[in-house]
Amino acid sequence: MQTRPEPADDRPRGRRPGPSVTRDAIAAAAAEVFAQQGYDRATIRAIATQAGVDTRLVTHWFGSKQELFVQVMRLPVSPEELGRRLSAGEPAHAGERIAAYVLGLMDDEAVRQRVVGLLRSAASEPRAADLLRGAVTRTILGPVGALVGGDDAQLRASLAASQMVGLLLARYVVRVEPLASAPVADLVPLVGPVLQRYLDG
Amino acid sequence: MQTRPEPADDRPRGRRPGPSVTRDAIAAAAAEVFAQQGYDRATIRAIATQAGVDTRLVTHWFGSKQELFVQVMRLPVSPEELGRRLSAGEPAHAGERIAAYVLGLMDDEAVRQRVVGLLRSAASEPRAADLLRGAVTRTILGPVGALVGGDDAQLRASLAASQMVGLLLARYVVRVEPLASAPVADLVPLVGPVLQRYLDG
């Protein structure tokens, strides 16, 4: 586990964390609690208990529950990385590159847990939906909208995002078969051209 | 409100419902409680209270909470109707017909509430996800799989379903813009060809 320097003057005065109890450990505990309980039911106290630290250490590092959610439940894609993937290689195969990239990220257990927790919270709780909407708009609609042209670029970008969200929900949350068990290599040639259709308009 | 004949010999002996308190009123109350609270948190007692009836009348008409959920939160599409829409008209435009049909159904406030409740519950609760998975498999994958050919017909059908689920989630639950505000007439020409791509393989 990666350790980071402890806060200096303003660090909490309560129970002192051991050296391995770091910001990363709190973030991991928060991701787990949010994924299991959803945004509304999760509490700073439950996250602190899960991490084995005082609640003040959680608020010290992350501020409010909303700020904590935004930081630990973020999309596993950055706008920069998405833009790079979209523009690296043949424009006609950008859809396939995106499908392969996103599905590949989900092979990582921690990423999958975070995304499933994010979808669960956003589907069931308006405040978490607000946060996901903001993240999708900033992270996906920006780079995709910049790449694709036309008056309806933002609409097509949001439809491409809806296909990826629906795919992740059907495959990893609702687990509709045969989609849930299909290898990524079988999905990319089917989903890629669909994303491409949205990109091309 | 439509009334139906009251149960005869086996009707509950508790508080007698007024003439307007019918099976339909219980179903409407259940849809509202499931949509607001999700499957796990919803109780037969809360549904009875919402409908203004004795809990025994709810179990008399609907049996268990799971049976009640299956009946009132069902998909707004029957396999027969979907099959008919798919095969009525040019095969090359089946995707557009399905997109127009499903998005048109969502204009109805009661249907929209039910679908949003179903998505919310299924995203956040494993038991509700099981029920949605069964409904999607029976209702969508059957007719679509029958229409489309090829070894991967079921996989393509489940991908088409994932696009529709993602579209409904992004438009009506997470409310990503400009998708949430776009007129149905703008969406059908974009989503239709994508569904068609899955149907055609």
Q: How many residues does chain B have?
A: 201
Is A165's CB within 8 Å of B164's CB?
no
CA–CA–CA angle B102, B164, A183 (5° rounding): 150
A159 contacts in B (CB within 8 Å)? 167, 179, 187, 190-191, 194
Q: How far, CA to CA in Å, does B147 sit from each of B85, B133, B134? A: 11, 20, 20
Is A178's CB within 8 Å of B155's CB?
yes
**B73 within 8 A of B114, measured Cβ to Cβ:** yes
**Between A38, A141, A169, which is nearest B169 by CB?**
A169
Average pLDDT, chain B: 84
- Which tokens hold the place of B142? 């059957």
- Which tokens hold the place of A95? 């859809």
Question: Helices B44-51 & B55-62, crossing angle to 10 degrees?
Answer: 110
Closest Cα in chain B, distance from residue A88 (Å): 24
- Which tokens hold the place of B36? 């607001």
Q: Encode chain A (201 residues) as per-residue pLDDT tens digits.
A: 444 444 444 445 555 555 445 788 898 899 888 888 878 788 999 999 999 999 999 999 899 988 888 888 777 888 888 888 888 888 889 899 999 999 999 999 888 888 888 888 888 778 888 888 888 888 888 888 777 777 888 899 899 999 999 999 999 988 999 999 999 999 999 999 999 999 887
A193 contacts in B (CB within 8 Å)? 197
Other CB atoms closer than 10 Å to residue A18's CB: what's the count? Answer: 9
Is A159's CB within 8 Å of B120's CB?
no
Residue A99 contacts B where some CB pair is shorter than 8 Å: no
What is the distance, to the nearest Å, from the Cα of residue B81 to the centroid of all Cα atoms in its chain? 14
- The whole-number pLDDT of residue A18 equals 54
Is A166's CB within 8 Å of B171's CB?
no
Please tell me the distance from the alpha carbon of residue B139 to that of residue B146, in angstroms, as a whole number: 12
Q: Which of A37, A197, A13 is nearest to A121 (CA)?
A: A37
Question: What sign has the CA pseudo-torsion A70, A76, A78, A79?
Answer: negative
Per-position b or e across A57-88, b if 16+ CB within 10 A of its CB? bbbbbbeebeebbeebbbbbbebeebeebbee
Please tell me the distance from the alpha carbon of residue A174 to that of residue A158, in angstroms, as a whole number: 22
What is the distance, to the nearest Å, from the Cα of residue A85 to the centroid of all Cα atoms in its chain? 17
Residue of B nearest to A175 (CA): B133
pTM equals 0.80
Residue B143, classed as helix, strand or coil, is: helix
The letter for the amino acid at B151 is: D
Q: Encode chain B (201 residues) as per-residue pLDDT tens digits.
A: 444 444 444 445 555 555 445 788 898 899 888 888 878 788 999 999 999 999 999 999 899 888 888 888 777 888 888 888 888 888 889 899 999 999 999 999 888 888 888 888 888 778 788 888 888 888 888 888 777 777 888 899 899 999 999 999 999 988 999 999 999 999 999 999 999 999 887
